[in-house]
Amino acid sequence: MDLKDLYQDVIVDHNRSPRNFRKLADATSVQEGFNPLCGDKLTVYLKLDGERISDVSFEGSGCAISVASASLMSEVVKGKTVAQAEQLFEKMHALLTIEDPERDLESLGKLAALSGVREYPSRVKCATLCWHTLKNALEHPETTSVSTE
Amino acid sequence: MNARHDSLHIPAVIPAFDALRWRRDFPVFRQLVHGKPLVYLDNAASSQKPQAVIDAVSDYYQRYNSNVHRGVHHLSEQATAAYEGAREKLRRFINAASIKEIIFVRGTTEAINLVAQSYGRSHLQSGDEIILSEMEHHSNIVPWQLLREQTGVELKIIPINEAGELQPGAYEQLFSPRTRLVAVTHISNALGSVNPVKAMIAHAHQQRVPVLLDGAQAVPHLPVDVRDLDCDFYAFSSHKMFGPTGIGVLYAKEALLADMPPYQGGGEMIRTVRFSGSTWNVLPHKFEAGTPDIAGAIGLGAAVGYLENIGMASIRDYERGLLEYGTQQLQSLAGVKLVGTARHKAGVLSFVMDGIHPHDIGTIVDQQGVAIRTGHHCAMPVMEHFHISATARASLAFYNTREDIDALVQALGKAREVFR
């Protein structure tokens, strides 16, 4: 396993300059995610316009995988419907946890940059924390916290 | 001086500590990790096992596996002799007065929970105070919080300074007429700080307050003499001192144990059982309900024998030199900051790196065969004190060498490269 498969240029770039890394003043849903294993904390802000995610942002501290995953997620789900975002959650979950040589990386677009994480079982939770937090935000439009443990 | 005298001359230089010789006793090092020789720097989490320990465990299962203190048959007598023999080895190793004071438990965590639940619930009341420190492992915080919920005791916390030492003078100021117990760590697992426990115990005893020491990080690295320390309770784990997992020791002064109710009920810990009521076995068996971890105790006894052969004072001195070298090497790296710079430190190098999260450091150095721990090290209050969520931690044992530190430094260079 080459470290470059895990720390692809896209990941290193999104870690260095995370996109949508800010508080969303007019968020309709705010959820916190926490990984007690490493102490990573993440807040996901969502603005729902009916069934559409009109804006999304995040704040927090974490490792490169965790920050890049949240940054990529925020770019990808912006403008999507709730149903589309939930489909992406399922796809990401499968990408990170299931061995599937037939998997369709193309449909994941830039999210495919995280495919190397599956080879590092101890790091999968770093990449999934933001997605679990997003899912929680979609399902519960109030403020509570989600844990990956 | 003639030639005859020269031949009798004893060399003034003591032979250097031969870490590589000892390392050969550990079969785990006969492997490559990610194609590189294993550099194991996660000893504060768990240490490796020498062949002597592995053989002792295996020998029990192969030749005399049976229950202890029960059967009159040959195997049971052998198992009992080996199990109680291990207890005597532990007694001698920490210089306890009697084998009655050596309670086999699952580890440091269970030892502290035993004291909290047995001693704490029977001796402490609402409003009584327990002194802990900010550098405690969660296992010396949470049992006291559970006791707080059950009894209403209050917890007083000795703060730490920026070097990761207990703030001078703060401890003494926390004492009040309601202070009933002090529970502090001998050596911090996250920072490596060695606390002035002997003086702290003396101070507590002046106020007639007993002291529990968490010795998990001390027993594998320096000579521990519980009678010299005069501590009342001392807890430690086998797996951090080159013995098997799942076993550890609670040392407690006999007078305290005699006055404490059982922690768990079951077989072994009773003298008589009737439905109208039961009576308790003598010490130490009163605190060892159920079939104990016989193989574990025998393996731990073997670990003690192994350590005694090397000599704990030699181990302490060797690791001190290695820590100095590691400290210099890490401090010479740009963007690396040590967390925990106490004047009195044991072999723990906790650090953070500019722009690289500890988890990423851990994964990258692992690819170079270097095993370190990353995270909060079960010491979240320490992380909070330094306003960080995690550190990378290299922790030493006597089988580590300067070359291991060099391998870590080189692997950290690789981490820089990945994030350049």
Euclidean distance between CA atoms A51 and B86, whole angstroms: 67
Q: May I ask the CATH class of domain A3-147?
A: alpha beta
Contacts (Cβ under 8 Å, ≥6 apart) of B397: B40, B43, B47, B48, B220, B221, B242, B319, B347
With CA atoms as reference, the chain B residue closest to A122 would be B363
> How far does chain B reach from its first CA to its final CA, in angstroms?
64
> Cis peptide before A18, with omega less than 30 degrees from 0?
no
- Selecting from A6, A12, A41 the residue whose C-beta is nearest the C-beta of B363 gives A6
What is the pLDDT at residue A43? 96
Which amino acid, A103? R
* For testing contact with chain B, the best of A9, A38, A59, A118 (most B CBs within 10 A): A38
Chain A residues touching B419 at Cβ < 8 A: 7, 12, 15-16, 64
- Is A149 a residue whose pLDDT tops 60? no
pTM of the model: 0.93
Average pLDDT, chain A: 90
Is B378 a known active-site residue? yes
Span A32-80, pLDDT tens digits: 999 877 778 899 999 999 999 999 999 998 999 999 999 999 999 999 9
Contacts (Cβ under 8 Å, ≥6 apart) of B173: none
What is the pLDDT at residue B1? 41
Instruction: Give the tokens for residue B170.
Output: 């703060």
In the sheet where A29-35 sits, what is the strand order?
A: A52-61, A40-49, A29-35, A145-147
Length of chain A: 149
* For testing contact with chain B, the best of A1, A2, A3, A15 (most B CBs within 10 A): A3
Mean pLDDT per 10-residue section of chain B, whose length is 420 residues? 49 78 98 96 98 98 94 93 98 98 98 98 98 98 98 98 97 98 98 98 98 98 98 98 98 98 94 94 96 98 98 97 98 97 98 96 97 95 94 98 98 94
Contacts (Cβ under 8 Å, ≥6 apart) of A104: none
With CA atoms as reference, the chain A residue closest to B357 would be A63
Per domain, the residue ranges of chain A are 3-147
Instruction: Give the tokens for residue A77.
Output: 């789900």
Chain A residues touching B42 at Cβ < 8 A: none
Q: Which residues in B have their CB inside 8 Å of a CB on A?
A: 34, 356-360, 363-364, 367, 374-376, 380, 383, 389-390, 414, 418-419
What is the pLDDT at residue A148? 56
Write down the catalytic residue from B155, B256, B378, B388.
B378
Return the number of other C-beta atoms located less than 10 Å from residue A28's C-beta: 15
In the sheet where B391-395 sits, what is the strand order?
A: B336-338, B348-353, B391-395, B373-375
**Domains of chain B, start order:** 15-45+311-418 (3.90.1150.10), 53-309 (3.40.640.10)
What is the pLDDT at residue B373? 97
Q: Do B357 and A62 touch (CB under 8 A)?
A: yes
Return the number of other C-beta atoms located less than 10 Å from residue B12's C-beta: 5
Give the DSSP letter of residue A81.
B
Largest distance between two CA atoms of chain A: 44
